[in-house]
Chain A
Amino acid sequence: MDFPVYQPDNSERAISLRRHRDALAISGAAVIAFSIWDMIKVFIELFLGEETLSSMVATVIEAIDVTDPEDMKYVPLIAWVTTVTILLLACAAIFFYHFIIGISAYRAGRQTAGKKNRLYLVLTVLILAVSLFFYTPNILHFFPRDEETDQIGLATLLVELTSIANYLFLLYSAYRIHQLEREALS
């Protein structure tokens, strides 16, 4: 009996293409995962950490001086609502940005994207530039080891470096896929 057996194209180029597509999909999933973990960490730190949200709001309330004691009742409520709203909006925006990159890279890697999309690569370059801009001082500050540098700093640094490496991996994989596909056509 003849079974329809899947015959994969195992040429050098096809193997390389499969590898890079898989890497692209994993990088995309990792972008989303890192983003979610960052959000969780921000919220845990704000509610349970040393510099909590309540102390931040307290400084804000102190900064506003209201002459009328009758109005003073509403100030804490308004301050809280505004702070939490701004925080949630900022988190949602940052997560959405990462989510677009992640889901586009994942779809491109798994070849389930409807049409060719290059926007996420531009977004990745942008976020890479921003991360490098913000993290380079951190990294430079960390490496001449002071006594103050603790394990938390090390862990944060590790995650930062991994996420920067992740963006680079993503761009490299996308570039290689582009190159290989063009070779296949010609």
Chain B
Amino acid sequence: MTIWQRINQLAIGIVMLLLGVLLFLYDADTYPVIIVLYSLALQLTGYRLLWYYFTMARHMVGGRSILFRGALFLDFGLFTGSLLTVPQFYVLIYLTGTLAFSAIVDLLRAREARGIQASWKLKTFQGAVKLLTVLICLIYLHSEALVVDIFSVGFVFSALMRIVNACRRTRVITIS
């Protein structure tokens, strides 16, 4: 990771930590904040990609995919922003889905790291805890108040892991 990536990860981790604590304290009132932040992040990605396309990627081989990706991200961001009126329970299901997805990604990356004798224990632990959180959420799906609390604990955990990973020293492998 470069220094900018570290700072980026650290910032995302801190925002997620704050959101998790807010979610635990104020339950459902935090949903609009989460949706607005998510939509803003997607829109910024979209604008950045479009800017990149029109200033540089236009001249690259295969650069046109940047334009399509930018348009889709922007649309997804604006569309997410328009979903403020949806039943809040769906938002929770959606967020749980993203947590499950990131758990699976973590587990797969840990498996890959194990294959090349890199450090894999922390990643496996992270993925397993996230998956466990999702499972407990699914078990208690009938009571919304409980699910929000369990989910916020999982959210805070994943924020903490992100901060830990950003601060961890990584070995740099140079290929000569």
Category for how many chain B residues contact A:
20 to 34
Q: B67 touching A19 by the CB < 8 A rule? A: no
Is A48 located at the chain interface by the 8 A CB criterion? yes
Is B86 located at the chain interface by the 8 A CB criterion? yes
Is A41 located at the chain interface by the 8 A CB criterion? yes
Give the residue of B62, B71, B83, B86 whose beta carbon is less than 8 angstroms from that of A158: B71
Q: A158 touching B68 by the CB < 8 A rule? A: no
Most-contacted residue by chain B among A27, A37, A41, A155 (CB, 10 A)? A155
Q: A162 touching B82 by the CB < 8 A rule? A: no
Q: A41 touching B79 by the CB < 8 A rule? A: yes
Is B4 located at the chain interface by the 8 A CB criterion? no
Q: For A169, what are the chain B residues with a Cβ–Cβ distance below 8 Å?
A: 64
Is B81 located at the chain interface by the 8 A CB criterion? yes
Q: B62 touching A33 by the CB < 8 A rule? A: no
Q: B64 touching A19 by the CB < 8 A rule? A: no
Q: Which residue of chain A has its CB nearest to the CB of B77?
A: A155
**A127 → chain B, closest Cβ, in Å?**
16
Q: Which residue of chain B has its CB nearest to the CB of A150?
A: B82
Do A155 and B75 form a contact, CB below 8 Å, given A26-B62, A26-B64?
yes
Distance A30 CA – B53 CA, assembled complex (angstroms): 15
Do A37 and B72 form a contact, CB below 8 Å, given A19-B61, A26-B62, A26-B65?
yes
Give the residue of A154, A155, A162 whose beta carbon is less than 8 angstroms from that of B67: A162
Q: For B86, what are the chain A residues with a Cβ–Cβ distance below 8 Å?
A: 48
**B91 → chain A, closest Cβ, in Å?**
10
Distance A18 CA – B62 CA, assembled complex (angstroms): 10
Do A158 and B75 form a contact, CB below 8 Å, given A151-B81, A152-B82?
yes
Q: B78 touching A29 by the CB < 8 A rule? A: no
Is B74 located at the chain interface by the 8 A CB criterion? yes
Q: B68 touching A162 by the CB < 8 A rule? A: yes
Is A34 located at the chain interface by the 8 A CB criterion? yes
**A5 → chain B, closest Cβ, in Å?**
20
Is A156 located at the chain interface by the 8 A CB criterion? yes
Interface of A is mostly: helix
Distance A33 CA – B76 CA, assembled complex (angstroms): 13
Q: A33 touching B72 by the CB < 8 A rule? A: yes
Distance A155 CA – B72 CA, assembled complex (angstroms): 9
Q: A159 touching B75 by the CB < 8 A rule? A: yes
Q: Which residue of chain B has its CB nearest to the CB of A151?
A: B78
Q: For A162, what are the chain B residues with a Cβ–Cβ distance below 8 Å?
A: 67-68, 71
Q: For A155, what are the chain B residues with a Cβ–Cβ distance below 8 Å?
A: 74-75, 77-79
Give the residue of A30, A34, A158 whose beta carbon is less than 8 angstroms from that of B74: A158
Is A71 located at the chain interface by the 8 A CB criterion? no
Given A44-B83, A48-B86, A151-B81, 7 other A-B contacts at CB below 8 A? A18-B61, A22-B62, A26-B62, A26-B64, A155-B77, A158-B71, A158-B74
Could you name 17 residue pairs across A and B whose Cβ atoms are closer than 8 Å?
A18-B61, A22-B62, A23-B62, A26-B65, A33-B68, A34-B72, A37-B76, A48-B87, A48-B90, A152-B79, A155-B77, A158-B74, A159-B71, A162-B67, A162-B68, A166-B68, A169-B64
| Closest 5 A/B residue pairs (Cβ) | A155-B78, A162-B71, A30-B68, A48-B86, A155-B75
